[in-house]
Each structure stands twice: as structure tokens, then as C-alpha cells.
Structure 1
Amino acid sequence: MSARTEDGGKPLPVLLACAAQPGAGAWQAPRLRLWHGGALVLLVLLGAGFADAAASPPRAGVLSVLVRWTPLLLRGFGFNILISFLSMGLGTLLGVALGLGLISPHGGARKLAWSLTQFFRNAPWLVLLFFAIFLIPFQLRLGGLTIPLPGWFKAVVGLSLPVMANVAEILRGAVASIPSGQWEAAESLAFSRRQQLWLVILPQCVKRMLPPWMNLYSILTTSTVLASIVGVSEVMTLASQITAAEGGRTDILAPLYGYIMLWFFAYCYPIARYTLRLERRFAVKI
């Protein structure tokens, strides 16, 4: 969709939020609803019931196992949330810098930023995680000081790379959606390009960037379980250890992983609902 300039010139591209395009006829992905969480709870309970019924000889109930290990699982889940916070913070800082490179007036900087953005946006997250694990050393030596670099730090760096690329693209799209009249008005006030960006353009971009930024955070949060593959002791790693501690019981696998999935749903569902609310509030009006 486009908006025309005041003098009737060439149409300007405008980035519209999804909520601002009613009746477009395009297929839209279904959104999370509260009944999805209820269905997930029901599946966990049914799985626990079937597992108890199939247990032979009779052993401790699945629900009692889940309750007994809940404090440990919560500790691991909290570590997942911590990794998501750190990765999102680092990725956002790097992504803003990369996004400014995408809109740089210098052609060389734009090409380099575009290449980095496309590479990290299209690379598999797990591959980037493995690269971070193997390329980052176990420790750094600064003079006589030795700084250890644990696995969770490498996981944060690995997960922040795709976040960086996506934030850069979000920033570029938000800047492109600002009407050119805003640039012209700032230029008429004798602002330099840096002043135009930081005082006029970027403040208007914040509300346009916030909904996709929150969606990206939800995706990142559910992706933190990948850290278990590279040895980080988060909730999925602890789930495997719990299974081993219970004597390798296969009957608790489905209820246990469904229980963990329910926690992720409970954490991400409010974010998804608030994101939808922000999309409606900040929808661009034409």
C-alpha cells in the first residue's frame, strides 16, 4: 500500500501493521488463543493418566513425579528466560547498529550490512549456536587474569546473532515506512543527517518496531531450548536428567515434555496478546 505526497508526486511506500489491512483477502496465520492453553493442559493430564494406566509394575504416579521435580524444572526454566533476556538485549544492540548500516548513505556500508543481515537471517539458529560453541574459546587471558567463558555465555552469543539480523531488518522497515515529508521537514530545519535520524525519524520508528520486536522475543524464548544440545543446563537438559533419575521411565516422557511446553505457552501467550494489542494501537492510518 502507498501514500501520495502533498504535491501529488510519486507514491511513497508505507509499512502497515497487519491490523490496518482489513479485508485484504490474504491468508493469515492463526493466533494463540486461551483455549489452546486449556487444550494443552488437557493433553498433559490425559498423557499422565494413560502413562499411569500402562505402568507395569505399578510405580509412582506421573503427576506425583511432575510435582516432585517441579522446583528443579522451574530453576531450569528460569535459566531459559535469563538466556532469552541476555540474547535479546545483545541482539538488539547489535541489530540497531547493523540496521543503521542498512540505511547508511555510504554504499559500501550498506552492502556490508545487507550481506551480514541476509547471512544471519537465513542461517539455521542451531548451526549458529554450534559455531559460537566451537569458535569462542573456553577462556580469555588478559595479562595475568583468566576469564572463563561458560557454555551459557556462548549460547547467548550464538542466539543473539539471528536476533541481530532480524532487529536490523525491523529497523530498516520502520525507517522506510516514515513518509519522506518527515525527512524534508527535518532538513528544512537545517538538521544534519544524524540529527534527522535521532531527533525526528527514529523516535517515530519505536512504536512501529515494538510489535515485531516482541514477536521476535517470543520466538527467541521458545528457541532457547536449543541450548540443551550444546550442553547448557536448562529446562530440557534437566528433563533428560529427571528421566534418567527415574530409572529411564519412558511413560513420563510425553507428560514431562508437555508440562514444559505448557510453561512456555503460559509465558509467551500474554506477550502474544499484548503484541496484538500494540499492533492495533499503533496501526498506521492512511
Structure 2
Amino acid sequence: MDRKEFTDLKVYLVEPSHTQQLIIKQHLGEFGIADIVTLTSGAHTLDSLPHNQPDLIISAMYLPDMTGVDLVHAIREEEASYDMAFLLISSETNIKYLEPIRQAGAIGILPKPFSPQELDIALSATLDYLNPSKVELDHFDIEDLNVLLVDDSQLSQHFIIRILNDLGIELVTTAENGKQAINILRQRYFDLIITDLNMPEMDGLELTRHIRHQPGQQLTPVLMVTSEQNQNRLAAVEKEGVSAVLDKPFEPSGIKKLILQLLN
């Protein structure tokens, strides 16, 4: 991707450590990013957003007054906040703390320290998110595509819907778990089903198993979008006939590529 595109990004850097501020700003500067507002707390960030919205918010996990999880959840309370990308930089590895960030629609999670290649991927994903292009399908118009989105996280739903809308997909029906999805599937046909794996009532594995045993739905593409790291569970999902698996957080270009592969 053309590095010159990075230079137009407006960035909020939310980091209480002065040393980390300097390190991250130096890395961003190597990509030509100069429009960086440095903030040290969640409250200061939330107070600043109504007056000056950035393209990208880069946050540490632990802030003086809240966590990065608290911050992204507070930001995502406003529908317009999905016009901004959110990137977490943290040395945290505990899935209990990272899972809410994945579900909230972060564009990426970078470790401390991160490599220039990892930052390049995250910034490229940010540009894909901010400057989407519609999917062009061979056999029908993308606007006519009926999609069922199954996810128990409202934040994740909103984030994925935003990306689908940007790709030109307008007809999106939502369900909070597999049981709700099955009830909807009894009434309507869908061209594509996008589901989370871990959900209450009925998870994505059981939902996929049900779909693959229903006449008329056996060939419906099922895209699993999940933060699951357990390889045994992922192998079980693939065995049940899921069409493709995409990690959370994911790059918008990744879901576009999979949709093209599944529907063309």
C-alpha cells in the first residue's frame, strides 16, 4: 500500500507513559504520520472527541482512570464513533482482558514492543476501514445479497454491519445466538451467514451443524468470525462444514476477500 496515504491520518494517542508516547510517535513518524494528539487519560479523550474526531485512536490497555476496554466501550456508545478506527497497544496477554477489545470492533491489537511490520498491517487495515470499496460479484448485485449475522455482542454486531455496509451489503438481519438464528432461518432464505463461535443458548458450532443438515441450506456459505484460539474447537467447526474462519479482530480486506471467494 502506498505509504503516502498514511500521512493523511489524524491520530489520537492515549498513553500515560511519556516514554511510550515518544516510542509510538517515532514509529508513527516513520510512516509519515504527523497529526498526532497525545492524551493521557480516558476522560480527557472522551472530552476531546466531540470537538475533534480523529481517524484512528491508539490506546494503551491501562490508563489512570479506566482501561482500554472501558474506553472503547464508552466511545462505541455513539453510532458515529464507528467512523473512527480503534487500535490497542498492550503487553497484556490474558484473553479475559483482550476478549472485550476483540468484541468491541478494534481494528487490531498490537503487542509491546511491536514491529514495524505489525504496525504497517494495522495502519493498512485502518485505511481499508476508512476508505472501503464495494464488492463486485459475478452473478448478482451485492445490494441484493441477504446476510444473517449471528453474534451475541452488540458492539461486534455494529462493527461488522458497518464493514458490510461499506462493502455494499445493505440487507443484514441480526440474531444474538444460534437458537434465534434457527428461528429466523425457518422463515427466510439467506445468501450468506456470518456467525460468532462462542454464544449463549446455542453456539456457532451447533448452528453450523444444524444448517448443514437442513434441506435447502446445506450449501449456504457460513463464515465464522471468532476470537477463539483453541485449535481443537476450531478444528471441530471446520469438520462441521463452516466455509471459512476469520479471526477477531480482522482486517476489512480479509472479510471482503472471503466474501468474494465464497460467493463467486
- The bucket for the TM-score relative to the shorter chain is under 0.3
Whose strand proportion is higher, 1 or 2? Answer: 2
State the structure with more CA Rg.
1
Whose helix proportion is higher, 1 or 2? Answer: 1
| TM-score normalised by the chain length of structure 1 | 0.24
Higher relative contact order (CA 8 A, sep 6+): 1
| TM-score normalised by the chain length of structure 2 | 0.25
